[in-house]
Structure formats: C-alpha cells, structure tokens
Structure 1
Amino acid sequence: MADLFVAGGIVTALEDAAVAVGRLDAALAGNPLRRAWTFWSELDAARRHAGADGRKVDLFRLAAHLHGLPLRLGDTASAPERGREIAGLNYAIELRSWMAAPDREQQRLRDIALDSLRDCGGGQPALVATAQGMLEWLAGQGSRPAIRAAVPLYLRDRGITIHRLAAVTGGDSLRAGPVDPDGFTVRFLETVGREAAEGRDLLLTMEREWRQARLRVDHRAGARSNSRLPAAVDLLAASPLLSISALAEALGCSVEGASRMLEALVQLEVAAEVTGRTGRGARRLYGLKRLLPIRAETTAVQRRARGGPRGRPKRVLIAPFAELADDAGVADATPDAEPAEPTRLTAASFDFDALDRLIAAADERTRGVRRLLDRIARGDKPFPTADGTEEPGAA
C-alpha cells in the first residue's frame, strides 16, 4: 500500500477535521433523531451556502418560507428590499433541493461532480483529496451547488463516514481567500472541522431537548401506559414542523384527538404553535418550543392565551438550537472539557413507520415548491385555475 503524502502545514487541520467528522458520524449511528437532524442541517447548509454566494437569509424565515407560511415584512423595508429577500429565500430553497430532492438535471450535475472528486482521490487522504477535487472543479468553472452536494456523498463513498453528513460540505471555504492550493486546502479542512463540530452540537442539543420534553410528558402521563403523548413528542422531535392532520395520520388517530394532544403539549410548554393561525380550516404547524421564533416571522393573526399580554410575541434573538443547559452549573464548566453525552432515550417506543410517512410528505412539499418556482421562472401563472389541477391554497 502506497504511503499517503500530506504537506506539513495541512497535517494539523487534517487531524482536527477528521476527529470532528468521526465524532459526528458516530453520534448519528442508530440515533432516532438523525432524519430531523438531516433536515435542519440541510436547511442551515443552504443558508450558509446562500450567504457564501452573497445572499444572506435567516434560518427561521427560511423554514417558514419553505413551509409556505406568509412572512412578516418590516414596515421600513422598501419594495425592492422585500423582493431581494424573497429572491434570496427562493435561492436558498433551490440550494437545499440539490441535497434533499434534486431534479433530474441537478442529479446529473451532482453525479458528474462526484465522479470528478473520485478521479482526484489517488494518493491523498480523503479530506485532502476532497479539497483538491473541489478546487479543480471550480477552476474548470463547475457548478458550486453541485460540488457542495457531492462532498457528503464522496466522503461516504470513500468509507470515511457511514452516513451522508448533510452539515459537512466545506461550502464556507468558497468565500474569498488565498488562491494557492495549500491555502485553500487548509481553509477547507478548517471549514469541515467547524461544520462537523457545529453539527454534533446541534444533534446533542436536539437530544437534550427531546429528553427534557419526554421527562415532562412522562411525569404528566404517570402510570397511563396507553397515553400517546410520548409518541407525539417523539414525532415532534423527529420531524421539522408538524401539522395536526400529519400527526393524526402518523399515530392512526382522529384529527380531533391529535389536536387535543398538541394543545396539551402546548399547555405543558413542551411544544409551540409556530403559525399562530385561527379557525377550523386553518393549517396550523407545531414544533418543539425551540422553534417558536418562527412564529414571530409570520404575518398570521397571533393568538394569545387567556389573560396573557397582547401583541406579537417577542422575537428571541438566539442562535438556532442554542445549547440548552441541564442545570445552572453547566455554564460554569471549563470550555476545554468534553461535553457529556446526554442519556439516550429508549428507541423501543419510537414509531419509525410514522416518521417515514412524515419525511415523505415533507419531500413532496419540497418538490411542490420547486414546481411552483419553475412555473414562475417560465412566466406562467403560479396556480392554474382553468382546467389545471392546482388551486391557490390547495396545499
């Protein structure tokens, strides 16, 4: 077996990146939240990629836009500014489709980029070969979204990872920087290490939030072995945003029963209604409480609890999925200490069939958004109303 040669200035960055990627991949093994983590990682990666391409978007506004929620627009924003933001959000959704639900042309270009990475992989460690392959691809005027989407697939193809790590793309290395190959390689490795570390922090935070929600619900359910509230919490934790009808279909219960379960979880301060919509026919979406800032980004009529303060809920200015401390002493821990792994919840009660149905519904919605954007790009009417099968608000 030939020895792999790595330049001295790259060794440290390579070691750090390899350790971070390995930790993330190991944390995802057998994890019930892996699919939910993949969704949010793809969405956050699309946000970062749009920023690297000069279009800054907000993660919570992107999530609301992806789910078809009307966005709140600032009173001081001009019409061109609003148009640029909507264009940026649409661009980020387009970037996510390269990873989540590529069309035929995107898949073709992604496969070409993947083959290009494979051709550059001889005699170098996988991460270094990925950096050099990306640099050669860009030098040949290749598509940026294609090469970014190909990176997780290539790492899995080389046996470096077991899973397709949606968070690890090296996309931020495409920002302006040194033009020499070694400089780009170091920047790529540092980016990969940072992406993997942030992806692992996100997963641990989601696990911790799920554990805290389950503990609160289990305490409420008590000895009732037939309670479906724990299963509802599992689906909320493992899915992006959940509607009442989707929960009813996943659990095999009535819509009224699913609505009561979600309202009970809201009362327990475990879940939050992120749309704020009212009315029997309104499409209301729910998520765990950390997703409440999405609600502040929509224009739907805001509902308030009886006796509560009036007005729109305050926007929480925190990083998405910021670390949740188990107790007050966690904040005083030394920064160099390795974060303790949260106690894993038993997966015996987790309904993976229900989760599969939810993921399939989310993918179908993504494809619907892409079809709508394609019609607008062609200059057609967004919603055909003559003999077409789609009507406004059909979703």
Structure 2
Amino acid sequence: MVLASALADAAAGIARLDQALAGHPLAQAFLYRARLEAVRRMAAVDGQLIDPWHLAATIEGLRLRMDPYLRIIDRGEILEKARFALTLHHWLVDPDFDQEGEVQRAEAMLAMQPASLPPLIAAAQGFREWIEAGDARPAMRAAMVRFWRKRQLLRLPVPLTGAASLRSEQSWARDDWLPAFLRALAREAADGMDLLYTMERAWFEARRGIAGRRKDSHVAPAVDLLAATPVLSATTLARILGITVKSAIRILDTLVAAEIAVEVTHRSKRRLFGLKGLAPLREVVRPPYRPDPSRGRGRPRQPIEEEEAEVAPPPLPPLTPIERTEFDYTVLEEAMAHLGAVVRQARRALGMAADGGNPVESGGVEAGLERDAIND
C-alpha cells in the first residue's frame, strides 16, 4: 500500500512537470537552473554540500571572497566541493568517452528490468542493483535521466534522480527504500514545478518593469539572461550581447536601481547580479560594503536593528498562453548555449587548480577582463 501510494504520487508529479514544460518558452533556462540545483542536491547527499552562492559564483569563474576566519584548508574544501558538483554536472550533460561508457552500462542495467514493471519501479530496482554491485552513483543518475525520456515519462532531460533516497539515515531495506526513492522523485518534480513558475513570474514582472524602452535597447536581453542563470557578471553579459563591460555594468546598475535585479555582494569588484526573487539569491544577498561619507574615521558604527526573517511567499500560478506571447524569446534562446560554455569553462578552471594550476586563486576565468573595467 505504501509503495503504491508513493508510486502514484511520483507518477502524477512527473506528469504535471512534463506537461508544464511542454513547449514552454523558458524550458531551456529551466533545465540550466534545474541541473545546477540537482548537482548541488546530489553533491550534498554524497558528502560534498556546497552553498548555492558558492556554486553560482564559481560557475562565473570568479574568486570567492570567503570569511576571513577560514583556514586555507577550509577554503580549499569549498573549491573542492564546487569541483565535485561541476563534475556531477559533467556526467549529466556532457560525459566524456569513459563516462559515456559507464552511463551506457547503467542504461543496460535499467533495460534488463522486467518489461512488466512500471518505469518508476524498474528504475528504482535498477538503481538499487547498481548500488549493491558497488558501482558509482553518477553514471546511474545520468542513465536515469535518459531512461525517463526513453520510457516517455518526460520529453525533456529533466534531472530527476531521487537523490534524497541515498541519505545516510535512509534505511536500505527494500520495502523501506523503494517508497523513499519514489517520494524523493515526487519532491524533486514538485520543486521543479515551483522553480518553473517562480522563474516565469519573476521574468514576467521584470519584463513588465522595463516596458516602453526602445527596441534596440540591451536592457530587455539582460533581463532574459538574468532569468536564465542564478547569477550574472558584467563580463558574461557583455560577451553575450557584444557590448563593452562598462556598458554591461551600466545596464545592470539600471536594473538594480529599478528594483528588477539585485547585487550579490560578497565582493566590491567583479560584481555579480541576479533577478530579484530567484534562488539562490533569496537567502544570501546582503548590501555591499560601501564607505559611509557621513561617518568620520574611527567613529563607531551605529547599531543595526535586526530585521525579521522574510518568509518566502507561496509560488504563483503559471502565466496564461496570452501572457507568454507578449515577449520575444530570441535572445534567451541564443544565450543558453553560451551559459553552457560558462559551466564547462568553470569546470576546466577548477580542474586546473586541482592539478596545481591557479586560475581560481588568481581571480577566476573571467576576472582579468573585469579587473580593469569595473570600479566601485
């Protein structure tokens, strides 16, 4: 009875997500964000928990400004966690030759399950057998993403992997684990729905906030890019739009002033921005440090009253088809390929750092381009 209920919930949740994504203009942007959240979730279960801010900033190729009390070993651990998460991303999106061989072997394991089994049960049993055989998790996770499409549960490669079912406290007994795996899939599908609708509403409100600007303005494409990626640097925006970094900074500052974007402020230079209201920024944004001209040298700071924690509102309903047709999605579609390249670039940089290079320590892949262009 427990298994049947979990199976019904998972199947219904995945079906709703598939229907919502079918033909959705933000589908590719959703996949970009969903993959980052999925690898963060999987890395946490595998003992490599990384803060969403750290992951997003690392992808931008920028040096993390960490708390000064952290030891060198602690800083290295954060970078190692980012490298681990991006390696999981590599397995999901663009496996190399050896990884592809492992993924195909995992696919064969799933294909060996009895055809009479529902796809979700077949995947659960195949995953369980794979783990019991001592094989690595990333290959089977990537194989499951392909399995959902082959069995027509999903039309897009949505990264649903049931990661929470592999937590250390989860019982491995078959009667306990199979429902846990299905419940984990159902939660991931529900989180995907919330993410899609949150992106949709945030993007729609941002586009409405810039209505009336001239058609050749770069502001609207900048909003589209902010909708697609958790954080965005001026360098990335400049490269995609073909403008100077200074022009990109002016656009981003304009969006911040209009309360459409927010600045992620763990640095005073090489600044990062995100669309207002979208994770992971909701929990980590704080105002940047700026010298207070009204405060003399040595004068003590005024006490700051603690603000009550803001409770995130429930997800809004999806847009109507008429609302979706109001905007041009061309720039958003063109940007997704570049954002994928940014992830690959960050992964290579972290790999070089792990092998003894220092691209991360020196400020990241793109820091050199921004160092001279941005002054706060």
What is the distance in 1 between the residues matched to 2:235 and 2:101? 36
Q: Deviations over 1:26-50 (max 9, x none)?
A: 1111222222221221111112112
Q: Deviations over 1:340-390 (max 9, x none)?
A: 3334533464243x334432323223223333343444x44346xxxxxx9
AA aligned to 1:367 is R
What is the distance in 2 between the residues matched to 1:381 and 1:343? 50
Task: Choose from 136, 143, 149 the match for 1:156.
Answer: 149
- Retained in 1: the 8 A contact 2:224–2:332? no
What is the distance in 1 between the residues matched to 2:247 and 2:68? 40
AA aligned to 1:267 is A
Percent pairwise identity: 36
Matched, 1:273 2:263: yes
- Retained in 2: the 8 A contact 1:207–1:342? yes
Q: Relative to structure 2, which stretch is displaced further, 199-208 or 294-303? A: 294-303
What is the distance in 1 between the residues matched to 2:83 and 2:273? 23
Aligned CA distance change for structure 1 residues 209 and 61 (closer, same or farther; 3 Å): same
Q: Deviations over 1:127-150 (max 9, x none)?
A: 110100100111111111111122
Task: Choose from 98, 102, 120 the match for 1:127.
Answer: 120
Q: Hey, what does 2:342 align to over in structure 1?
A: 365
Q: Indicate the RMSD between aligned Cα atoms, in angstroms.
A: 3.7
SS in 2 for 1:197: helix
Task: Choose from 251, 257, 268 the match for 1:261.
Answer: 251
Q: Hey, what does 1:102 align to over in structure 2?
A: 95
SS in 1 for 2:277: helix
SS in 2 for 1:178: coil
- Retained in 1: the 8 A contact 2:263–2:272? yes
Structure 1 residues not aligned, in runs of 5+: 1-7, 326-338, 384-389
Residues 216-295 of structure 1 mapped to structure 2, 5 A cutoff: 216-218=209-211, 221=212, 227-248=217-238, 250-251=240-241, 257-274=247-264, 283-290=270-277
Q: Deviations over 1:142-168 (max 9, x none)?
A: 1111111221211111111111112x1
What is the distance in 2 between the residues matched to 1:295 and 1:394? 28
- Retained in 2: the 8 A contact 1:70–1:300? no
Q: CA deviation at 1:200?
A: 0.5
Matched, 1:143 2:136: yes
Aligned CA distance change for structure 1 residues 304 and 75 (closer, same or farther; 3 Å): closer
SS in 2 for 1:169: coil
Q: TM-score, normalising length from structure 2?
A: 0.80
- Retained in 1: the 8 A contact 2:55–2:82? yes
Task: Choose from 301, 316, 340 the match for 2:317.
Answer: 340
What is the distance in 1 between the residues matched to 2:273 and 2:210? 16
Residues 1-395 of structure 1 mapped to structure 2, 5 A cutoff: 8-166=1-159, 168-176=160-168, 177-218=170-211, 221=212, 227-248=217-238, 250-251=240-241, 257-274=247-264, 283-290=270-277, 302=289, 322-323=312-313, 340-343=317-320, 345-347=323-325, 349-352=327-330, 354-377=331-354, 379-382=355-358, 393=368
Aligned CA distance change for structure 1 residues 196 and 269 (closer, same or farther; 3 Å): same
What is the distance in 2 between the residues matched to 1:305 and 1:27? 48
What is the distance in 2 between the residues matched to 1:317 and 1:293? 16
- Retained in 1: the 8 A contact 2:238–2:245? yes
SS in 1 for 2:95: coil
In the alignment of these two chains, the number of paired residues is: 357
SS in 2 for 1:290: coil
Q: Relative to structure 2, which stretch is displaced further, 133-142 or 235-244? A: 235-244
Q: CA deviation at 1:297?
A: 6.8
Aligned CA distance change for structure 1 residues 248 and 51 (closer, same or farther; 3 Å): closer
